[in-house]
Amino acid sequence: MNSQNNLYKELFGNMELELYKQILIEVMSKHKIKIEFENLKITNPNIIAEKTCYIAIQRIRTILANETLSDFECIERITNLLENIGSDASSRHDFN
């Protein structure tokens, strides 16, 4: 987007970029998107999800087996782990 911003600035000066961005988003949203990952060996999303979940369960077991952690620390680490794999802890992780 940086090169697009520079082109826009050359053409239109310091005008607000927000409208420009909105127009691009609108035009681009009407087209199909194809994303490819060149080095991704696994193409089945179920395998990726299952592997991620299996690793998360292993890590949760390791956290729970750590007798040096308090219950609060266990929950904190498990919540962080879940957030790191894309699972939203919503308001449960707001300990303030």
Residue 77 buriedness (CB in 10 A; 0-12 / 13-18 / 19+) = middle
Q: Which domain holds residue 76?
A: 45-93
Number of domains in the chain: 2
Dihedral of the alpha carbons of 61, 62, 64, 70, in degrees to the nearest 10: -160
Residues 88 and 56 in one domain: yes
Kindly state the greatest CA–CA separation across the chain: 64
Q: Which of 32-36, 66-70, 85-89, 92-96 has the highest mean pLDDT?
A: 66-70
> Could you tell me if residue 4 is inside a domain?
yes
Cα R_g (the chain), whole angstroms: 22
**Pair of tokens at residue 33:** 């998107």
> Could you tell me if residue 39 is inside a domain?
no
Q: Tell me what the mean pLDDT of segment 43-68 comes to.
A: 89
Percent of the chain with pLDDT over 90: 24
pTM: 0.53
> Could you tell me if residue 18 is inside a domain?
yes
Residues 58 and 82 in one domain: yes
Please give the pLDDT value at position 77.
Answer: 93
Residues 29 and 52 in one domain: no
Please give the pLDDT value at position 23.
Answer: 77
